[in-house]
């Protein structure tokens, strides 16, 4: 693998991670509910005296260790970049004073656009083939085990984490349902359409519809 290809992988992984973080920020700032991991982390914060970012990175680290023993080939440069980079990017967005709040009439547009952006960013770094991030690794494992599409695997995984987060005390609202139903299709569309561009030299992650 040449140096140019590694630079390309690194760059796209960072770009995808930042885009995903921007989508998450739009989702959270809507105040209507959060994505699956954020809901879980917010629930855990009710019981563990750790900051959001710290819990998020700890969760990703534990999952990466599990995935390493399940199929270490799934882990690569992109795994580390995304698993820990999302939290860093979210902190940068907040420190820059961006998206601290939005007008009430933009709440639903914010969570709709945020979910699509989140799925788009996630798809970009998955397509770098530089290693899946923690949560996406779980999604791929679930897809393999259940022999379903990426869309269905994502919905099942998100639904499970939403439920656990809610039971732990995380906030769930109408926006939660929007994220649950829209994120899977957004991710699948990205995985299937971006490879048509020459910029992405990758295999199709999902072969079913």
The vertex-57 CA angle with 168 and 131, nearest 5°, equals 120
- Give the integer Cα–Cα distance in Å for 110 and 22: 11
Q: How far apart are CA 44 and CA 34, in angstroms?
A: 14
- Rounded to 5°, angle at Cα 162 from 159 and 117: 80
How many CB atoms sit inside 10 A of residue 198's CB?
6
Query: Could you give phi then psi for residue 142, rounded to 5 degrees?
Result: -65, -40
> Are the C-beta atoms of 150 and 132 separated by less than 8 Å?
no
pLDDT attached to residue 130: 73
For the entire predicted model, the pTM comes to 0.76
pLDDT for residue 167: 93
Greatest alpha-carbon pair distance for the chain in Å reads 49
Output the six-digit token pair for 145: 């085990």
- In 3D, which of 55, 50, 74 has the Cα closest to residue 64? 74
DSSP at 1: -
Which of 115, 148, 132 is CA-nearest to residue 202?
132
| Residue-level pLDDT at 2 | 62
**Per-residue pLDDT tens digits for 138-181:** 888 888 888 888 778 878 888 888 889 989 988 788 888 888 78
Residue indicated by tokens 């930042």: 18
- Each residue's pLDDT, cut to its tens digit, for the chain (209 residues) gives 567 667 777 888 888 888 988 998 888 888 787 878 888 888 888 898 877 767 887 888 888 888 888 887 878 777 888 888 887 887 788 777 777 777 888 888 999 999 999 989 888 887 877 777 788 788 888 888 888 887 788 788 888 888 899 899 887 888 888 887 888 888 888 888 877 776 665 444 444 43
């Amino acid at each position: 693998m040449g140096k140019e290809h590694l630079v390309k992988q690194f760059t796209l992984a960072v770009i995808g991670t930042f885009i995903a973080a921007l989508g998450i920020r739009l989702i959270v700032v809507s105040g209507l509910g959060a994505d699956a991991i954020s809901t879980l982390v917010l629930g855990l914060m009710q019981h563990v005296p750790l900051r959001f970012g710290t819990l998020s990175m700890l969760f990703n680290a534990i999952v990466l260790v599990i995935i390493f023993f399940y199929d270490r080939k799934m882990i690569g440069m992109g795994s580390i970049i995304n698993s820990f980079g999302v939290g860093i990017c979210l902190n940068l967005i907040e420190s820059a004073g961006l998206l601290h709040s939005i007008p009430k009439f933009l709440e639903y547009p914010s969570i709709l656009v945020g979910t699509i952006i989140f799925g788009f960013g996630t798809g970009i770094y998955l397509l770098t083939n530089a290693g899946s991030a923690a949560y996406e690794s779980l999604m791929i494992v679930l897809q393999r085990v259940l022999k379903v599409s990426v869309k269905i695997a994502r919905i099942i995984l998100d639904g499970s984490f939403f439920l656990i987060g809610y039971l732990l005390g995380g906030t769930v609202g109408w926006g939660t349902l929007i994220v649950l139903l829209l994120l899977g299709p957004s991710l699948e569309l990205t995985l299937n359409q971006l490879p048509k561009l020459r910029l992405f030299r990758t295999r199709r992650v999902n072969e079913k519809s």
